[in-house]
């Protein structure tokens, strides 16, 4: 599919697949054109092309008697869902992302010292349930499309109760069951219905919308650690958890009525049935492998950057600021690459740029860092490009299939695969971190050399998987 005309037809097929037809069935996956390989088209007229998409969509909607449907990619309702999703996702991601603050505090409490080795499980559960639970939450969303708002409310309630009940826990096991499991389960349940609604409201600007949602955790991640640290030191964990539960209720409860579907229930039910033939598409497995490999090294800077900074003589406060700086550039990177993915640029090209730049930053500015300046540059580059890679999940799904229901089916699978890397970070780090004391003059301070190499190598591996695939495809086309 090399011409702009064919590309325009493909995009129109995607939009028409979301429009109710008189037969009661939207265009199925087989009715439109499919991509097995993403292409980089001439995007010199992206603004006019995107406007043409929306104009064609509205004209086709009117032709099919869908006057009652609100417009996509614009309007109060579309932005309302996007902004509410940004705030809610940022608030609920904040606590798992900042669990290091809780872990440091819990490990110093006499009542928890006997089970200190189990404390990290609290944070692992609250994060990993979002990743590993994504396919199951998405399946529930597809199975009961009429109850998506109910699913959001149920997840919200479980997460808030998880924080509140954790304040009454008397043991590490109690914290694992409340702040870990209950909170993580609730967050997983509420997340996928929001993504499904975004999938209905945003078409031509889908990458930008999902990128903005992904960036929300960076906003809270740059501020919340300092607030939580102050609360814990000043008032203790019980008061801090109750204050957080109250603040979460006050800030997020008014957002719940803002979430609404664009399509009527009958069309939601049809769109909820994806075409599982994408499992036979080689490109799906290429992207899945790349996401899995990148995820196996992605989280190490988030875990070890403050301790690495201390080992080379950087004060602890400045080490904490490095993580906040990375979170700020995470926001910029995820929004930027989400926006770029809507511009007819190959998602493989964008993902390779992200992965290779993150790898280069790891090998150089992290591995060779002996001062704060190098670590600042690393935080900027890694935050912008490594997190930008995660934004490509939606674009990867669109490259495999033009069918929006299939894109929504692919998205949680890629989230799950990245979560596998999150789970492996704990056991692998105990193997990679040397028992010897750090030596400032050595590469990666001696103790962290394997972690730095693992971070860079996995990013390189993800890029290599995609480059080898597209190189082989190009060779087949040329011969």
Q: Give Cβ neighbours of residue 223 (< 8 Å, ≥ 6 apart).
A: 324
Its CATH class, for the domain covering 275-479, is mainly alpha
Distance CA 218, CA 176 (A): 25
Task: Name all contacts of 63-70 with Cβ < 8 Å and 24+ positions apart.
Answer: 64/19, 64/20, 64/21, 64/22, 65/20, 65/22, 66/19, 66/20, 69/19, 69/20, 69/262, 69/263, 70/201, 70/262
Q: Give Cβ neighbours of residue 471 (< 8 Å, ≥ 6 apart).
A: none
Q: Which fold has domain 78-273?
A: Growth Hormone; Chain: A; (1.20.1250)
Residues composing the chain: 479
Q: Where are the domains of the chain?
A: 78-273, 275-479
Both tokens of residue 231? 């609360």
Task: Name all contacts of 359-362 with Cβ < 8 Å and 24+ positions apart.
Answer: 359/455, 359/456, 359/457, 359/459, 359/460, 359/463, 360/456, 361/385, 362/301, 362/452, 362/455, 362/456, 362/459
Q: Please report the pLDDT score of residue 66 as a whole number.
A: 47
Taking only the tens place, the pLDDT of each residue in 5-24 is 334 334 334 333 443 333 33
The series of mean pLDDT values per 10 residues for the chain, 479 residues long, is: 39 39 35 38 44 48 55 89 94 84 84 79 86 92 89 96 94 92 95 91 88 88 86 92 95 94 71 79 95 92 84 81 88 92 90 97 94 94 95 91 85 92 79 71 83 95 93 69
Taking only the tens place, the pLDDT of each residue in 235-249 is 999 999 999 999 999
Distances (CA, A) of 67 to 19, 58, 62, 74, 314: 11, 9, 6, 16, 61
């Amino acid at each position: 599919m090399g011409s702009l005309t064919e590309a325009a037809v493909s995009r129109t097929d995607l939009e028409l697949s979301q429009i109710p037809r008189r037969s009661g069935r939207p265009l199925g996956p087989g009715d439109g054109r499919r991509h097995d390989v993403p292409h980089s088209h001439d995007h010199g007229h992206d603004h006019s092309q995107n406007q043409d998409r929306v104009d064609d969509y509205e004209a086709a909607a009117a032709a099919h008697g869908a006057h009652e449907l609100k417009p996509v990619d614009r309007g109060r309702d579309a932005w309302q869902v996007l902004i509410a999703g940004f705030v809610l996702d940022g608030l609920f991601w904040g606590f798992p992302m900042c669990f290091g603050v809780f872990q440091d505090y819990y490990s110093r409490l006499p009542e928890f010292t006997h089970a200190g080795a189990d404390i990290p499980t609290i944070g692992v559960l609250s994060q990993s349930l979002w990743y590993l639970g994504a396919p199951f939450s998405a399946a529930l969303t597809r199975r009961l499309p009429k109850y998506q708002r109910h699913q959001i409310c149920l997840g919200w309630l479980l997460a808030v109760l998880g924080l509140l009940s954790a304040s009454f826990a008397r043991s590490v096991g109690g914290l694992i069951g409340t702040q870990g499991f209950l909170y993580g389960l609730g967050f997983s349940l509420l997340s996928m219905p929001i993504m499904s609604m975004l999938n209905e409201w945003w078409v031509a600007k889908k990458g930008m919308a999902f990128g903005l949602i992904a960036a929300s955790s960076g906003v809270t991640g740059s501020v919340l650690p300092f607030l939580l640290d102050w609360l814990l030191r000043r008032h203790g964990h019980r008061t801090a958890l109750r204050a957080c539960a109250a603040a979460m209720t006050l800030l997020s409860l008014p957002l719940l009525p803002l979430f609404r579907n664009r399509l009527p229930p009958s069309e939601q039910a049809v769109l909820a049935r994806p075409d599982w033939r994408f499992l036979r598409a080689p490109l799906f497995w290429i992207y899945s492998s790349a996401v899995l490999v990148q995820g196996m090294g992605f989280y190490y800077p988030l875990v070890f950057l403050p301790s690495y900074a201390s080992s080379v003589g950087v004060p602890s406060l400045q080490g904490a600021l490095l993580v906040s700086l990375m979170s700020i550039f995470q926001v910029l990177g995820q929004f930027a690459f989400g926006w770029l993915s809507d511009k007819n640029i190959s998602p493989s090209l964008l993902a390779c740029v992200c992965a290779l730049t993150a790898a280069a930053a790891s090998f150089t500015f992290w591995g060779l860092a002996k001062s704060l300046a190098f670590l600042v540059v690393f935080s900027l580059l890694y935050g912008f490009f490594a997190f930008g890679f995660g934004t490509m999940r939606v674009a990867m799904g669109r490259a495999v299939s033009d069918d929006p229901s299939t894109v929504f089916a692919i998205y949680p699978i890629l989230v799950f695969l990245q979560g596998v890397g999150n789970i492996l970070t704990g056991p692998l780090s105990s193997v990679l971190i040397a028992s010897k004391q750090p030596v400032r003059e050595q590469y990666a301070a001696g103790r962290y050399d394997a972690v730095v190499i693992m971070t860079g190598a996995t990013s390189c591996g993800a890029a290599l998987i995609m480059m080898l695939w597209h190189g082989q495809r190009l060779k087949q086309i040329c011969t």
